[in-house]
Amino acid sequence: MTDPVRLQILGPLRVWRADTEMDAGPPQQRCLLAFLLAREGHAVGMNELIEVLWGHARPATAANIIQKYVGGLRRLLEPGLAPRAPGAFLARHRNGYRFTAGPQTLDLVLFRQLVAEAKAHAGQDELGAALDRYDSALRLVRGPAGEGLADTPAARAAFARLDGEFLDAVLAAADIAGQVGRPALLVEPLRRAADLDPLNEIVQASLVTTLAAAGYRARALAAYRSACERLVEELDIEPGPHLEDAYRRVMGACRVACIRGCPRGD
């Protein structure tokens, strides 16, 4: 019996069999696997796969190259699979391929399962349980999806959609963490989200307010100033209402702390 395979796409592409990390092959083969993982459960046509790997600079033998890569991936994932046998993960679908996996195999599937459970708990006002599910989901994210593999606009767009799912989950979790009095739990995920999308005012504002709520008012003000400077330098715009509201909340917390004679925090 072949040892189980584990796959990571929420960050750099990584493949394990049991406790041994496997080499997923040359860069384009790795990109192909990463893209198929990002589209888990969906059939992807050959033209789209060619667009992902080469963009407009496609070679005449592109389809043959992809078929060769698919063969290599099948041998990687299921080394005992007969050449033309249907695999458990990567299957031919019309003129393309579909990758399917369960939550025990692919981090993206588990992430989405946990987020769905978190939303279900939140919808029933079970905020503590919702936050625990979000926390478990966010711990799966190790960096930008498909990090280092997006060489074409189509690949970048596919991985950016996964990053967007992470950002949405962070924001939802931060809102719940504030409501239940556990903002410190979201400081690190929000910092990673802010690094991932430094010009996203909503994410930056959430980081500022969460830092302040967790008692890190000086760090909150520093994050606010840094976000404002980036907006001016890179987009030539002033901070919008989300950041301004976050700033007012921090300053309000600082005034309360001064009145009470409490330490202002780091």
Residue 44, φ and ψ in degrees, nearest 5: -125, 120
pLDDT at 88: 84
pLDDT at 263: 47
pLDDT (average), residues 2-24: 92
Residue with the bigger pLDDT between 65 and 253: it is 65
pLDDT at 81: 76
What is the C-alpha separation between 51 and 10, in angstroms, rounded? Answer: 22
Within 8 A by CB and 6+ apart from 225, the residues are none
Residue with the bigger pLDDT between 249 and 119: it is 119
pLDDT (average), residues 155-165: 96
Within 8 A by CB and 6+ apart from 189, the residues are 138, 141, 170, 173, 174
How sure is the predictor about 71, in pLDDT bands with cuts at 50, 70 and 90?
very high
How sure is the predictor about 57, in pLDDT bands with cuts at 50, 70 and 90?
confident
pLDDT (average), residues 153-168: 96
pLDDT at 2: 63
Q: For the chain, which domains are there?
A: 5-99 (1.10.10.10), 198-266 (no CATH)
Taking only the tens place, the pLDDT of each residue in 76-114 is 998 887 777 777 899 988 889 999 999 999 999 999 999
Whether residue 258 has pLDDT greater than 50: no
pLDDT at 254: 59
What is the C-alpha separation between 111 and 103, in angstroms, rounded? Answer: 8
What is the C-alpha separation between 82 and 68, in angstroms, rounded? Answer: 15
CB 74 within 8 A of CB 122: no
Q: State the pTM of this model.
A: 0.90
Question: What is the rounded average pLDDT for all residues in the chain?
Answer: 91
pLDDT at 161: 97
CB 211 within 8 A of CB 201: no
Taking only the tens place, the pLDDT of each residue in 188-231 is 999 999 999 999 999 999 999 999 999 999 999 999 999 999 99
Whether residue 265 has pLDDT greater than 80: no
